[in-house]
Amino acid sequence: MGVVVLHGFGGSPATVRPLAEALVGAGYSVEVPRLPGHGTSVDDMVPTRFADWWAAAEQAYFRLAARCQDVVVAGCSMGGALAVRLAARHPEVAALVCVNPMARPVDPALTEMVGLMVDAGEVVTPAGSPDLADPDAHEPAYDAVPLAALVSLHRALEELQPELGRVACPVLVMTSAQDHVVDPADSDHLAAQVTGPVERVTLHRSYHVATL
């Protein structure tokens, strides 16, 4: 069995490395793609869009499916949204695992505000510190957010809504009790909309970046 593990917006494979290493140790074949524009410099992310990240995620799925009979798709944050789309568009997916996933549409007023910033010529805005509960943990994430890329994510979450009901495989949703980035209500929304059996796990010792 194989597992595709997808990191989030502005992150990198390092964000999900502990999970990937645990899966490899348990005998699974694992693909952890570095999404375009991630894990290098924020300048590399500026021209990328959700369509680029989706293409990389789907290619990782195809690579793993070519050598594994059964494939699980897993993702954290935006990676969860990508994993949901994989499960919706590829019904042969064995199971879906989401950790603090983005699953609901963003407030249209926020998307409009970010769009106005882009129209005004702003390229990036400062990013907050990674949302980590462990004071000794470190996430090598960008210190700025590319605004046009963010708008593309917001639009993709809106477009994802009709696809949620097409997820018929078993679903595991892991949600931090305290998440300062993605509202736990996103997990509730996902669990309510998919048609496959759902298992819920609450993470009491993690914030948004639950994999570190």
Give the residue numbers annotated as catalytic, written as ranges: 77, 179, 208
Q: Which residues of 112-130 are buried (b: 16+ CB within 10 A; e: fewer)?
A: eebbebeeeeeebeeeeeb
Kind and range of the H or E element at 18?
helix 17-25
> What is the amino acid identity at position 138?
H
Dist. CA 178–CA 7, nearest whole Å: 19
Contacts of 6 (CB under 8 A, 6+ apart): 16, 32, 33, 35, 57, 60, 73, 74, 75, 76, 78, 79, 80, 82, 83
Q: Shortest CA distance to 204 belongs to which of 171, 179, 170, 167?
A: 179
